[in-house]
């Protein structure tokens, strides 16, 4: 099964929510929509689900033009960030509700509900009401409804955002197997780059109502087409600084310079933007090909076994992320080492060149 | 080591005094009257529960109680569904929301005796707009000062006009607090508008509806000013509700003992029915 957007756009009361977007989403892997809050992930999902009308373009599902089809006829499921279940119905009735509306036979409904309940470990709770369940179980109930329905497409709109850390990890691990082999196109919206990497599959990066890049998740992580994509796909945010290149020598505005190698060596002389992920900027030298930077430490954080430090590099705020605990003094200058072999080079208008 | 002293009483004292003066003392005064015969110069004779028995056995009280229950029943059966329907048809967002809310709030802002006077003048034959229109234009014989049925219709319509807004505003508050996600889920399931109402809107409005029903019950059961100004309990005794009857006994005939006994019975019924409503409506949540 496939969902195909053909320059689909969405305009509500004169405000453009989705600019003309073309995209082909397929079954067999997760399709992650990755973007910050307000980038249009939910808008795009609502457009595909048929909850909002198209302003222009077309949407096709399995070679059928569904642009004018009502939500119900598109046969899709949606799992929300909030735990949306019918409050007065039992878990069983909640899972069964779309099947009943579809007019399915009682015995078949029972089979499907029980199968979905088994997969999501809801068997003992089938007779309870949603408000008697924990948050994780309520979301499982919503997921079970989507699975039992066996729809063509399942839209998961930040389904784990309101769960606590442990439940989130647990459910995220299970999600890919839940939908594996079911044939539905699974679309998963998230604002966390880490989730996209963990779920694998393909990722569509979204920014300001448009898909900026689409491809396998690993490929996008390794080669973000532009500076925006690199920023979206990095947490903590990617470090960026203006840089000029003359001959083999690259120089930052702060004066730090090094000899460029690899693809970057072939770039014509001029001004560029350098970007590098925080874990390639460390307080101790890693490898041999490093560049020494110095900046005033602004904020330090310790999370798990990693420590991060925000520091001022010229006009830019940079972040370093390193294993282990490092003795930073807030307000004092500290030396950091950038592994320039992992740097991205963008033109001044943000295109990836090396 | 724990320090124990009696200082906590000082914190409770203000509320204790407040409750004593606005509830306990008046009620105990009424209890005092209800078990005695009162004469001038503060001369009292002990009567025990005689007044209670007399009131409960009297046809006059039973008739007024019957009218009271009928009135309250009609009010609830009309205002609650009507309020929900109006709330459902109000816009959820946009420039018309404040307009609708203000229009809805208007009747509730008018003092009760003014409402009674307004409707009195409005419905008088020959003089009132509605009275003139019905009698002289449409040719419908309508005179609430002569016809008991017309009087009942008038007090019911007046109360619906005055208080349905309360149900509307409470239901509306319940409705707008339902996240869009629920409606989207229903749309994706293909649920009909009735199912959306039955399984999403009604359950989500339950708390505010419980409050609306309780408030409308208590208010309509204790109603006095509007029908008193509008019909004065007439024609005959046809619209003499409990409170109107009570005031007649207490201030008209100055029978303080029976009036006090009747007040306590009245209070007990209000309390009991409110408790029943509340228990029934919140039963599900307690499970």
What string of pLDDT tens digits covers the 354 residues of chain A? 888 888 888 888 888 888 888 888 888 888 999 988 888 888 899 989 888 888 888 888 888 888 888 888 888 999 988 888 888 889 999 999 888 888 888 888 999 899 888 888 888 889 998 888 888 889 889 989 888 888 888 999 998 888 888 888 888 888 888 888 788 899 999 988 888 888 888 999 888 888 888 888 888 888 888 888 888 888 888 998 888 888 888 888 888 888 887 778 888 888 899 999 998 898 888 777 788 888 889 988 888 788 889 999 888 889 998 888 888 888 888 888 888 888 899 988 888 887
Measure B263 CA to nearest chain A CA, in Å. Answer: 41
Tell me the mean pLDDT in the region B106-126: 88
Q: Which of B179, B187, B204 is closest, CB to CB, to A71?
A: B187
Would you call A88 and B182 a contact, using CB atoms and an 8 Å cutoff?
A: no
Would you call A102 and B190 a contact, using CB atoms and an 8 Å cutoff?
A: yes
In a domain, B269, yes or no: yes
Q: How is residue A109 written in tokens?
A: 């409904």
What is the overall mean pLDDT for chain B? 87
Task: Summarize pLDDT for B129-164 with one digit per residue, the tens.
Answer: 888 888 778 878 878 888 888 889 989 999 999 999
Residue B172: pLDDT over 90 = yes
In a domain, B197, yes or no: yes
Would you call A98 and B187 a contact, using CB atoms and an 8 Å cutoff?
A: no
Would you call A101 and B189 a contact, using CB atoms and an 8 Å cutoff?
A: yes
Domains identified in chain A and CATH numbers: 2-226 (3.40.50.300), 239-346 (2.40.50.140)
Would you call A72 and B190 a contact, using CB atoms and an 8 Å cutoff?
A: yes
Task: Summarize pLDDT for B186-244 with one digit per residue, the tens.
Answer: 888 888 889 889 888 998 888 899 999 999 999 999 888 888 888 887 788 888 888 88
Would you call B190 and A80 a contact, using CB atoms and an 8 Å cutoff?
A: no
Say what the pLDDT of residue B284 is.
66
Residue pair A235/A43 in contact (Cβ under 8 Å)? The answer is no
Backbone φ and ψ for A276, nearest 5 degrees, come out as -150, 140
Say what the pLDDT of residue B181 is.
86
Q: Which of B181, B189, B195 is closest, CB to CB, to A80?
A: B181
Residue B246 lies in domain:
59-286
Angle, alpha carbons A323-A324-A328 (nearest 5°)? 105
In a domain, B109, yes or no: yes
Query: B204 touching A, CB under 8 A?
Result: yes
Q: Which of A87, A88, A101 is closest, CB to CB, to B191?
A: A101
Query: A72 touching B, CB under 8 A?
Result: yes
Residue A177 burial (CB < 10 Å; 0-12/13-18/19+)?
exposed
In a domain, B95, yes or no: yes
The percent of residues in chain B predicted with pLDDT above 70, rounded, is 98
Please give the residue of chain A at the shortest CA–CA distance from B94.
A13
Sign of CA dihedral A213, A217, A223, A227: positive
Query: B182 touching A, CB under 8 A?
Result: yes
Query: B190 touching A, CB under 8 A?
Result: yes
Q: Which of A76, A82, A86 is closest, CB to CB, to B188?
A: A76
The answer, yes or no, to whether ipTM is higher than 0.90 is: no
Would you call A80 and B188 a contact, using CB atoms and an 8 Å cutoff?
A: no
In a domain, B156, yes or no: yes
Q: Give the DSSP letter of residue B21.
A: I
Please state, in angstroms and rounded to a whole number, the distance separating the CA atoms of residues A229 and A324: 29
In a domain, B231, yes or no: yes
Residues of chain A with C-beta less than 8 angstroms from the C-beta of B185: 78, 80, 84
In this structure, the strands spanning A270-276 and A257-259 are unpaired
Report the CATH number that the domain containing residue B225 is assigned in CATH. 1.10.3720.10
Say what the pLDDT of residue B286 is.
46
* Number of domains present in the structure of chain B: 1
Would you call B190 and A82 a contact, using CB atoms and an 8 Å cutoff?
A: no
In a domain, B73, yes or no: yes
Band of residue B84 on the pLDDT scale cut at 50, 70, 90: very high
Task: Summarize pLDDT for B40-81 with one digit per residue, the tens.
Answer: 777 778 877 878 888 888 888 888 899 999 999 999 999 999
Please state, in angstroms and rounded to a whole number, the distance separating the CA atoms of residues B103 and B118: 18
Interface of A with B in 77-96 (CB under 8 A): 77-78, 80-82, 84, 86-89
Instruction: From A208, A228, A229, A209, select the one nearest A219 (Cα to Cα).
Output: A229
Residue B287: pLDDT over 60 = no
**Which of helix, strand or coil describes residue B196?**
helix
In a domain, B157, yes or no: yes
Band of residue B1 on the pLDDT scale cut at 50, 70, 90: low
Instruction: Quickly count: other Cβ atoms within 10 Å of residue B46's Cβ.
Output: 8
Would you call A98 and B199 a contact, using CB atoms and an 8 Å cutoff?
A: no
Please state, in angstroms and rounded to a whole number, the distance separating the CA atoms of residues B163 and A341: 75
Measure A345 CA to nearest chain B CA, in Å. Answer: 42
């Amino acid at each position: 099964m496939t969902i195909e957007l053909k320059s689909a756009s969405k305009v509500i009361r004169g405000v453009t929510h989705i600019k003309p977007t073309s995209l082909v989403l397929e079954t067999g892997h997760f399709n992650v929509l990755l973007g910050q809050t307000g980038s249009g992930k939910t808008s795009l999902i609502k457009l595909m689900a048929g909850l909002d009308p198209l302003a222009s373009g077309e949407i096709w599902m399995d070679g059928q033009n569904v642009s004018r089809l009502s939500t119900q006829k598109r046969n899709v499921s949606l799992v929300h960030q909030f735990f949306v279940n019918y409050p007065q119905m039992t878990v069983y009735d909640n899972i069964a509700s779309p099947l009943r509306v579809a007019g399915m036979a009682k015995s078949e409904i029972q089979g499907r509900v029980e199968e979905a309940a088994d997969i999501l470990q809801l068997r003992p709770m089938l007779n309870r009401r949603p408000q008697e369940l924990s948050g994780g179980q309520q979301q499982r109930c919503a997921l079970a409804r989507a699975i039992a329905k066996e729809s063509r497409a399942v839209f998961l709109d930040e389904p784990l955002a309101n769960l606590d850390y442990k439940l989130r990890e647990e459910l995220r691990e299970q999600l890919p197997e839940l939908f594996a082999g079911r044939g539905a196109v699974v679309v998963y919206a998230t604002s966390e780059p880490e989730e996209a990497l963990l779920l694998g599959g393909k990722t569509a990066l979204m920014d300001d109502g448009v898909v900026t890049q689409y491809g396998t998740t690993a490929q996008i992580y390794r080669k973000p087409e532009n500076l925006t994509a690199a920023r979206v796909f990095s947490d903590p945010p990617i470090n960026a600084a203006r840089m000029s290149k003359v001959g083999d020598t690259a120089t930052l505005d702060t004066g730090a310079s090094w000899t460029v190698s690899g693809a970057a060596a072939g770039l014509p002389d001029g001004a560029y933007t350098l970007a590098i992920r925080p874990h390639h900027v460390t307080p101790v030298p890693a490898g041999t090909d490093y560049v020494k930077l110095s900046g005033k430490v602004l904020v330090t954080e310790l999370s798990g076994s990693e420590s991060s430090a925000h520091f001022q590099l010229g006009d830019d705020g940079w972040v370093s992320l390193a294993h282990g605990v490092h003795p930073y003094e807030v307000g004092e200058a500290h030396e950091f080492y950038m592994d320039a072999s992992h740097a991205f080079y963008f033109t001044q208008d943000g295109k990836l060149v090396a | 080591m724990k320090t124990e002293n009696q200082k906590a009483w000082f914190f409770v004292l203000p509320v204790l005094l407040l409750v004593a003066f606005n509830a306990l003392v008046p009620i105990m005064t009424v209890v005092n009257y209800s078990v005695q015969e009162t004469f001038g110069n503060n001369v009292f004779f002990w009567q025990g529960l005689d007044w209670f028995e007399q009131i409960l056995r009297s046809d006059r009280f039973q008739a007024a109680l019957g009218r009271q229950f009928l009135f309250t029943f009609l009010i609830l059966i009309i205002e609650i569904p009507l309020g929900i329907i109006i709330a459902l048809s109000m816009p959820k967002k946009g420039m018309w929301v404040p307009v609708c809310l203000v229009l809805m709030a208007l009747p509730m802002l008018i003092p009760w005796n003014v409402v009674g006077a307004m409707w009195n003048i409005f419905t008088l034959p020959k003089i009132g707009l509605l009275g003139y229109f019905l009698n002289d234009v449409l040719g419908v014989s309508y005179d609430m000062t002569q016809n008991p049925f017309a009087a009942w219709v008038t007090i019911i319509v007046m109360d619906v006009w005055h208080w349905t807004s309360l149900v509307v505003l409470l239901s509306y508050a319940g409705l707008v607090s339902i996240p869009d996600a629920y409606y989207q889920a229903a749309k994706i399931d293909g649920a009909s508008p009735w199912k959306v109402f039955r399984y999403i809107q009604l359950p989500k409005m339950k708390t505010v509806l419980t409050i609306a029903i309780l408030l409308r019950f208590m208010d309509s059961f204790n109603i006095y000013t509007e029908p008193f100004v509008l019909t004065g309990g007439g024609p005959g005794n046809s619209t003499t509700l409990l409170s109107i009857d009570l005031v007649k006994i207490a201030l008209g005939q100055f029978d303080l003992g029976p009036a006090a006994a009747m007040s306590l019975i009245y209070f007990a019924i209000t309390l009991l029915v409110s408790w029943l409503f509340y228990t029934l409506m919140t039963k599900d949540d307690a499970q």
